Amino acid sequence: MDFCKNYPLPDWTSGFEHRKTSASQLPYEEYTGPMEKSASDTNDYRLIRLPNNLVVMCVQDPATENAAAALSVNVGSNMDPVELQGLAHFLEHMLFMGTEKYPDEDEYKKYISQHSGSCNASTNFSRTRYHFVVANDAFEGALDRLSSFFTSPLLKKDCVDRELCAVDSEYKGLLNNDIWRSYQIGCKLSDPNHPNSKFMIGNIETLKQGAKDHGLDLY
């Protein structure tokens, strides 16, 4: 079953015009069609598409004192292999463990913290999201560090066991959380053959022991 077919991406095939950045003349496309917004909305919006087909909504808020960015990846726990439930969540953790350009494991979070910001990520059934808020003058540096998660992650082998424990700790910390318990009840009540029946968060048993039981290597 191709679960991604149930979550089709928008069809951005019309309304875009070819443009180039002013400084480096890099190509991109910008949506020039009508864009609906509330009459009380004072924000300015631009919708662009990069050469790699990444669609970006740029928002300018004249009242904000910070800059922010979020990236949504079209993969979540529903795409986990049955024998490795929690894999998408585990990968979310591993991407924070350094990149080729910024090999220090703490570089991204340290940079964000040093510039009056915060950051986090989350994995749900169909998406994995990464986001940050930071001081305006630090936006470019923060975005460069985040984007390198997806172009050159190190996925260090010596981080595997530690991040497995971090996932397991997160799972245990949510055992008494009513929201997460309701999610799990929904999973248990789902058709066992449907992707929604999978264990979203994952833990040591489903990941490390699951890999061992099936002769797999998480790395």
Catalytic residue among 92, 100, 105, 107: 92
* Residue from 79, 97, 72 nearest 219 by CA: 97
Other beta carbons less than 10 A from residue 169's beta carbon: 12
3-class secondary-structure state, position 27: strand
Q: What per-residue string of b and e applies to 132-157 under the rule 16 or more CB within 10 Å gives b?
A: bbbeeebbeebeebbbbbeeebbeee
The answer to whether 205 is a known catalytic residue is: no
C-alpha to C-alpha distance for 44 and 56, rounded to whole angstroms: 14
DSSP at 35: -
d(CA 167, CA 147): 23
Give catalytic residue positions: 92
